[in-house]
Amino acid sequence: MPSVDKALRALLTLAGAGPAGMSLNELAAALSINKSSLHVTLSALKFRGFISQHNETGFYGLGSSIHTLHQSYINNLDIIGILRPAVRQLSVTLNEVCHVSILDDKEILYLERIESRKPIQAGTSVGMRIPAANTAMGRIMLAHRYSGFSEFNAQFGEGYSRPCANAPESTEGVWRRVCEARQAGYGLDMEENVPGVVAISIAVLDHTGPVAAVSVATLANEITREGLLAYEPALRETLASVVPSPYWLSQPKVDT
């Protein structure tokens, strides 16, 4: 165990050192470990590719096996499968329809739909594709895909049409909704995609952008805007309990 702990401490310290790396003397001092003993540990880590050594300076840094390990972990994560049980329980708790979707170009693709116990509910289905711009799930994912209006407008500006009367009249209006979603940490659809249906959504993110989104949808005549917003803590708490690292949830933007 001491040798394993020594290796892990060395990796964590080198990660903190960044691309510049550290000399053997610096690393030994930082870890309060004998240089000879540390050198044996570093040699084993270097052999497996977890650290590298600069040819000219002799400094140590993290190796390519760190990235390979991380990528292998990511490739084997089934984030939709991880979300599914929690979203099912959320639907039961709230007695509302819940969805899981991904962003595919300018559309959202429904991957999961959990029905409520209500006799009348949103008419969505797994495999359905709809334009992302005026949906709660689409807006929160678009908020983390596009950083500026020019890029967004280049993708959505041509051929934009309002799906219903409550939807924004132009892509400038849609972009304002997307920016509001980024600021709030959640997306809203107040009868802007389908008349009579409202929804709130939170995105699951990684370093590349939006991975998926989860929404709670209900009929507009059964809930107020404040009531819909009251679902956000339960939605966030449910997802936070199952979303693994290196994923995270969309968060409210804090002004500094």
pLDDT in tens, 128-173: 899 999 999 999 999 999 999 999 999 998 888 899 999 999 999 9
Q: What is the pTM of this model?
A: 0.73
- Residue 35 contacts residue 24 (beta carbons within 8 Å): yes
Which tens digits make up the pLDDT trace of 217-238? 999 999 999 999 999 999 999 9
d(CA 74, CA 1): 27
CA distances from 74 to 38, 170, 249 (A): 31, 38, 16
| Domain shared by 27 and 132, yes or no | no
Q: Chain-wide mean pLDDT for the chain?
A: 90
pLDDT at position 20, please? Answer: 85
- Asked if residue 254 belongs to a domain, the reply is no
> What CATH number did the domain enclosing 38 receive?
1.10.10.10
- Asked if residue 111 belongs to a domain, the reply is yes
pLDDT tops 90 at residue 69: no
- Asked if residue 255 belongs to a domain, the reply is no
| Domain shared by 122 and 240, yes or no | yes
In a 13 Å sphere around the CA of 140, the CA atoms on its Cβ side amount to 28
**Of residues 115, 117, 133, the one with CA closest to residue 125:** 115
| Domain shared by 66 and 92, yes or no | no
> What CATH number did the domain enclosing 169 receive?
3.30.450.40
Domain that holds residue 47: 2-74
| Domain shared by 139 and 245, yes or no | yes
pLDDT tops 90 at residue 3: no
d(CA 244, CA 256): 28
Q: Within the chain, where are the H helices?
A: 2-17, 24-31, 35-47, 64-75, 79-94, 136-143, 149-156, 171-184, 225-229, 232-240
Q: What is the count of structural domains for the chain?
A: 2
- Asked if residue 122 belongs to a domain, the reply is yes
